[in-house]
Structures are given as C-alpha cells and as structure tokens.
Amino acid sequence: MKFTKMHALGNDFIIINNIKKFFFLEKKVIQKLSNRHLGIGFDQLLLLELSLNKNIDFHYRIFNSDGNEVEQCGNGARCLALYLKLKKLIFKKKICVSTKNRLIYLKFLNDNFISVNMGIPLFNPKEIPFTTNSIKNTYKLFFKNKYIYFNVVSLGNPHCVVQVKNVSKTPISLIGSFLENHKLFPQKINVCFMEYLNINNIKIRVFERGVGETMSCGSGACAAVAIGVKKNILAEKVYVHLTGGIIIISWRGSNHDLYMQGSANYVFDGKILL
C-alpha cells in the first residue's frame, strides 16, 4: 500500500489514494499503522475517494489513530488540498471536497498556505451531540473536588472548550480523558483548553478523541474562537497559538461561515506491506 505522510503544524496524517477502491482498512489495521514505534505513526488517516457529485471534486474519509471514523478535521483538510495539488489531481486554486457529514471549501493563498471554509458553528446540544436538559451559556461537571466549566460547539465534529488561566500548567490528559469519555457526550468529544491572551490572540492545547493530545488541531482552534466570539471576548480575526504553530481564524458571528487559514506540509511518500 502506497501512502503519503503530511503534517499541519505538527498534526500528522497519512493520505491514501483509494480512488480505485483497492483498500478496506479494518480498525485493527489502522491502529497498527498509526503506532509510532511499530508502524508509520500518525494522528489521523485520510482515505481519498471519488465523489459521486459532479460539483464536488473529491470525497474523503477520516480515521483517528484508534481506528474510529470521524466527521471532520481542519488540519487534515489543508493537507488533503496540498496532496491533491502535489499529485496533480487538481489544477485550480479553489477546491470543494466532501466528508462524512459536510462540504468543505478550500482555497490556496500561496503554495502551501490554505484557507478553509469550515461552515457555520453549531451550538445546539443536540447537534454536538451533548446530553442536557436545558441550553445554557456555560455548562459544568464536577471532577476531582471542583467544577470544570465548559462550552460546546460543533464544526462538523464535536468540541468541548474549557477556558483556563494557563494551558501550560493544565493537566490536559487527565481532564481531557475525563471529558472525552463522559456519558453526556454519546459520540465522545474533542476537548480544547483555551488561554485568553488578548482580543486577537489565544493559546490552546487540544485533547482529541481517539488520539490524545496533538501538536495542533484546526477544528479545535475554530471551536475555541467560535466560543470566544460568542462570549464577546474575542475579535472577528484571531491568531490561535498551538504547540505546533499559529492558525488564523476569522468569524463574523451568528449565521456566518467560519474561516481558517494555515499551512500544510509534505513529509514523504512511502509504501508498506499490509
């Protein structure tokens, strides 16, 4: 099986061209491939397929390193766009691709700097999904003798945003694992920890469901900004500082599409015997 290794600010992927439907990858196979000691190593696997809709350039499926299929990945979308360009599968600056539950519109701003239209953020608990009896501005759960306060939003995949004073000193794995697997999130949840710097800058760390903490998370950056704008503490354009670098997020508020700008990088091509 041939594959391409790519990354976006350290969030790494392998992309497999499955246009001819050669591969059906079982959960155990994906887990083995994702192992950083015994396999290739990656946060997500992207499986490229043909689209049945003539207005959509390509369809692709997203699998976390635990083998579970998910709906959305902002960093992965940028890597996919660059892959299509490098492999000469597209020859235009604007691309439309489909995922499990939505369309994504991508635009090349330069060689490897790409804008992604992530669509309209969804805050209704049923759309996350998040189990609650009432809609609130902020939710809370009791953990380790204190309350964790959080907000929920979906950018095609579910996110829980926790505002903290200092992300560097926050026990990301401990709290992230607790929230990811909590019964109130029936499809589990990505957990974004946000440190407010000023109206145009935030720092985040993300604990991704089925993966753990990653160096960056595009949809997590979008989720944090969407919550910040909704709470009137962030401007329409925000620089999101992640462990792997900076992503630019722009959102004008309710009923508007949210945009992400960031880089994508080719690492290498390889092949592995399944």
Provide CB contacts within 8 A for 234, sequence distance 6+: 199, 200, 202, 225, 228
Which active-site residues does the annotation give? 73, 217
Residue 153: which domain range?
125-256
For the domain that residue 48 is a member of, what is the CATH number? 3.10.310.10
Residues 151, 111 within the same domain: no
Asked if residue 131 and residue 111 are part of one domain, the reply reads: no
Instruction: Note whether 192 and 240 are same-domain residues.
Output: yes
* DSSP secondary structure, 130-184, as one string: ---SS--SSEEEEETTEEEEEEEEESSSEEEEEEES-GGGS-HHHHHHHHHT-TT
Report the C-alpha gap between 174 and 74 in whole angstroms. 25
pLDDT given for residue 23 in this prediction = 85
Q: Are residues 137 and 204 in the same domain?
A: yes
Q: Which residues of the chain have pLDDT under 50?
A: none
Cα 59 to chain centroid, rounded: 17
Contact present, 121 and 223 (Cβ < 8 Å)? yes
pLDDT number for residue 168: 96
Beta strands in the chain (DSSP E): 2-8, 11-17, 44-49, 58-64, 69-70, 94-98, 103-108, 113-119, 139-143, 146-154, 158-164, 190-198, 201-208, 212-214, 237-242, 245-251, 258-263, 265-271
Tell me, what's the pLDDT at 268?
98
**Domain match, 152 and 83 both:** no
Q: CA–CA separation, 268 vs 4, rounded Å?
A: 6
CB-based contact 226:219 (threshold 8 Å): no
Based on the domain organization, do 234 and 170 belong to the same domain? yes
A 10 A CB-CB count for 195 gives 19
**CA neighbours closer than 13 Å in the CB half-sphere of residue 179:** 32
Same domain, 160 and 235: yes
Residues 100, 14 within the same domain: yes
Is the same domain home to 51 and 73? yes
* Cα angle 51-52-54, degrees, rounded to a multiple of 5: 85
Is the same domain home to 239 and 149? Answer: yes
pTM of the model: 0.94
Q: What are phi and psi for residue 131, nearest 5 degrees?
A: -85, 115
Question: Is the separation of the CB atoms in 265 and 80 below 8 Å?
Answer: no
Query: Do 105 and 138 reside in the same domain of the chain?
Result: no
Q: Do 152 and 228 reside in the same domain of the chain?
A: yes
What is the reported pLDDT for 101? 86
pLDDT for position 236: 97
| Count of structural domains, the chain | 2
CA distance between the termini of the chain:
7
Structure tokens at 144: 């380790």
